[in-house]
Amino acid sequence: MKNAEYWANRMRLLSDALQRQAHDYVINIQRQFDIAIKDLEKDIRAWYQRFADNNGNISYGQAQRLLTSDELKEFKWDVWEYIEKCKESAVNGAWVKQLENASARVHISRLESLKIQLQQQAETLTQARIKATSDASELSYTESYYHTAFEIQRGIGVGWTMQGINKSLIEKVLSRPWTVDNQTFTARCWTDKAKLVETLNQELTRMVATGDAPDRAIKAIAKRFNVSKSNAGRVVMTESAHFAETAAKDCFDELGVERYQIIAGLSVETCGVCADMDKKVFKMSEYSPGTTAPLFHPRCRCTIAPYEEDMEGLGTRFARDVKTGKGYQVPSNTTYKQWKEMQDAKYGAGTVDKERKKWANQTADKEQLKRYRSLLGNEAPRSLADFQTLKYENPTAYDDLTGYYRYKNNNPNSNRGFYNANKAVKDLRSTGSIKATGTVTNAPKGRSIVTVNEHAAQRMAERDITLKAAQNIIKNAKFALKQRKGTQYAFYSSEGYAVLDNDGMLTSIGWLDEGGKTLYDEVMKNAGNSK
């Protein structure tokens, strides 16, 4: 029998090839989701424009009006077309029955016709998901079974006739629930479809009930479709990987393999769960997906290989450098834990965990960086690599960036100088050096006093401040404190402060006292040159 290097490498290569194959199915089904989302938006806007009044609005009453005879005839033609498409693609019979009932009705409201039109997209997408998952899983099972048999016979150096696998056997295997919740992938697809339809109905009803333009409904529906799109990809990859491993197990059983070993990749793509399972050996009688055998989690990349004690320590296995990504060989009995320790010793403690986070969070971090770049422009990191280095290796700088993002989001016309000033003022406030409350920001332009309340009038009299002087404080203000959720601002000049609400009412005013001067000086030190 070949050594451990042979088995680990061959089974790893086979697993990777099957996953790449499944990924092609993912790309195809997600492309169908993208098309469906675009068609959905087009259909909603066309419907809205068709039935809107002269002001471009649709009331609930208008939406509930029955289709005219001509509109009903057009709708029925569409429904008959849906029925034919459903029969061609084997869409579930319950929906076909609903369509047939709809085609026989003589009264259909405008809103109901739109709901049926959009649900058709959800139904056909669901059937496409089921087919893609089934096809990918069937292909994975078949190719894994025969390729595993080939590799084992080649490794042993003996060939013999094996029992073939047929369509009915595969269908039986694919229909068998294997997850903790005892659900098949078909059941998951239909559950997801029900959520799609629920969102469609809720958002369309809300749209016409509130008289809103369709933008909000389109956004909410598209969001739900994108969740399903993500779920579809995850299900295809997970199910196909599971059935590939199931086929390997079935092949091992037929060929008389008594024990198997878990093989995880020695790279940042390997999670902690899989890392702990790497190189563990089990009897075939102990095989249990999720416990003693892959898959240990969605998108798990572990695989199994035959194991014999006399193979232990022979040969090498493939590993990947955590920083450079370059492959290299290590002794075959090297575990993930040992590889991690060697990489951390080379690059510093915690390096593998950091790089693992970078890899696992690529998609989410890319979206986060996109939001930061949109709001902060060149003040945000330029590349994903720079952003992830900041996020996972420099917590102080990352906290500052996220704080600035939140500040800028709430104060879009402000800038970094005022953000820095705000942090400094918070520190002074915590020590009791100043008492003024609010968020430091640039002073809003074009504000003037319209009215003066009793409190402000009293303060003006007590402090000998004229209305002109009060106007000048606001006009010459270098910054402001945003207060009461942005409903009023305290304007600060070098001489005094004036509190003005958004309706132009002066609510308080005064010359700068010791605390006011400290506040003014600190802000100007940080944001004096800010524009």
Output the pLDDT for position 86. Answer: 82
Residue 203 backbone phi and psi in degrees, to 5: -70, -35
Distance set, CA 202 to CA 199, 208, 212, 216, 493 (Å): 5, 10, 14, 12, 52
Q: Which helix (H) or strand (E) holds 72?
A: helix 69-88
pLDDT digits (tens, 9 = 90+) for 489-525: 999 999 999 999 999 999 999 999 999 999 999 999 9
Output the pLDDT for position 339. Answer: 80
Output the pLDDT for position 160. Answer: 46
* Confidence class for position 351, pLDDT limits 50, 70, 90: confident
Query: Looking at per-residue confidence, does 261 or 452 come out higher?
Result: 452
Rounded distance between C-alpha atoms, residue 44 and residue 199, angstroms: 14
Query: Looking at per-residue confidence, does 169 or 470 come out higher?
Result: 470
Report whether pLDDT(314) > 50: no
Say if CB 489 and CB 498 are below 8 A apart.
Answer: no
Output the pLDDT for position 78. Answer: 87
Query: What interhelical angle do 395-410 and 416-431 show, nearest 10?
Result: 100
pLDDT digits (tens, 9 = 90+) for 421-478: 999 999 988 888 888 999 999 999 989 999 999 999 999 999 999 999 999 999 999 9
Output the pLDDT for position 1. Answer: 45
Report whether pLDDT(154) > 70: no
Q: What is the mean pLDDT of residues 106-131?
A: 89
Say if CB 122 and CB 178 are below 8 A apart.
Answer: no
pLDDT digits (tens, 9 = 90+) for 247-260: 888 888 877 788 88
Query: Looking at per-residue confidence, does 196 or 88 come out higher?
Result: 196
- Cβ contacts of residue 292 below 8 Å, gap of 6+? 282, 286
Report whether pLDDT(89) > 70: yes
CATH: 3.30.2310, 2.30.30, 3.30.70, 2.60.120. Which one for 433-527?
Answer: 3.30.2310
Q: What is the mean pLDDT of residues 76-90?
A: 83
In single-letter form, the type of residue at position 158 comes to V
Output the pLDDT for position 321. Answer: 83
C-alpha closest to that of 298 among 335, 271, 328:
271
Output the pLDDT for position 480. Answer: 94
What's this model's pTM, rounded to 2 decimal places?
Answer: 0.59
Burial class (CB in 10 A: 0-12, 13-18, 19+), 454: exposed
Query: What interhelical angle do 185-210 and 110-156 show, nearest 10?
Result: 160
In single-letter form, the type of residue at position 473 comes to I
Listed in sequence order, the DSSP H helices in 333-466 are: 336-347, 351-360, 362-376, 384-393, 395-410, 416-431, 454-462
Say if CB 491 and CB 500 are below 8 A apart.
Answer: yes
Kindly report which listed range (81-90, 176-185, 234-243, 415-424) carries the lowest average pLDDT score.
176-185
Half-sphere exposure of 285 (CA within 13 A, CB side): 0
In single-letter form, the type of residue at position 184 comes to T
**Cis peptide before 295, with omega less than 30 degrees from 0?**
yes
Report whether pLDDT(159) > 60: no
SS3 362: helix
Residue whose entry in the numeric block shows the structure tokens 């029969």: 87
Kindly report which listed range (91-95, 316-320, 358-362, 497-501) carries the lowest average pLDDT score.
316-320
Output the pLDDT for position 242. Answer: 84
Report whether pLDDT(334) > 80: no
Query: Looking at per-residue confidence, does 511 or 295 come out higher?
Result: 511
Query: Looking at per-residue confidence, does 24 or 507 come out higher?
Result: 507
Output the pLDDT for position 362. Answer: 84
Burial class (CB in 10 A: 0-12, 13-18, 19+), 461: exposed
Query: Looking at per-residue confidence, does 67 or 53 come out higher?
Result: 67
Say if CB 18 and CB 295 are below 8 A apart.
Answer: no
C-alpha closest to that of 411 among 335, 313, 483, 314:
483
Q: How far from the centroid of its chain's Cα atoms is residue 399's Cα?
A: 22
C-alpha closest to that of 30 among 227, 264, 291:
227
Give me the torsion for CA of 103, 106, 110, 115, rounded to 10°.
Answer: -30
* Per-residue H/E/C for 126-162: HHHHHHHHHHHHHHHHHHHHHHHHHHHHHHHCCCCCC
Structure token pair of residue 486: 């942005």
Output the pLDDT for position 273. Answer: 87
Report whether pLDDT(401) > 80: yes
Residue whose entry in the numeric block shows the structure tokens 């409190």: 455
Quick one: what percent of the chain has pLDDT higher than 70? 91
Task: For the chain, give the number of residues.
Answer: 531
In single-letter form, the type of residue at position 18 comes to L
Q: Which helix (H) or strand (E) holds 171?
A: helix 167-174
Output the pLDDT for position 233. Answer: 87
Output the pLDDT for position 155. Answer: 59
Query: Looking at per-residue confidence, does 93 or 434 come out higher?
Result: 434
C-alpha closest to that of 252 among 208, 244, 373, 62:
244
Domain locations along the chain:
4-65+109-257, 282-358, 361-410, 433-527
